[in-house]
Amino acid sequence: MSRQPLFPFTLLALSVGCARAPDADLQYIKQARSIAAEWALVNEQGHAGQLTGTYVAAMHDWLHDGLLTASTSLSQPNSRYGVEIRALLAAPPDAPPAMLRSHGEVLKQIEDTLESA
């Protein structure tokens, strides 16, 4: 009885492993970018008195939890996008909207690069 070579299976296993690279993290990059934008908006509206303090605090908790989930789900946590997500996690709840948007813009650039590859 002849045995099939393992090469095709090895190649398949390697290609599946490569899928865990940045492309697999794209959903978490998008999630973090969206959270940064929403956080900036919450802080702007909160500082303008358009939102209650209770709502702002609850949103900060919810947004932080979303960032934490994205961060801990990354296959490449030490990547450039991992650094950006950790920077957002380290930001205080009342972080300046411009700073939050800046991190979001970097994540958007990374997202666009991955989607065009």
Residue range(s) defining the domain that contains residue 100: 24-116
Give domain status of residue 44, yes or no. yes
What is the helix (H) or strand (E) element at residue 100, kind and residue range? helix 97-116
Residues 89-112: tens digit of each pLDDT: 999 999 999 999 999 999 999 999
Query: What pLDDT sits at residue 11?
Result: 43
Q: How many domains does the chain have?
A: 1
Give domain status of residue 9, yes or no. no
As a three-state string, the secondary structure of 41-90 is HHHHHHHCCCCCHHHHHHHHHHHHHHHHHHHHHCCCCCCHHHHHHHHHHH
Give domain status of residue 29, yes or no. yes
pTM of the model as a whole: 0.81
Q: Give the mean model confidence (pLDDT) for residues 76-89.
A: 97
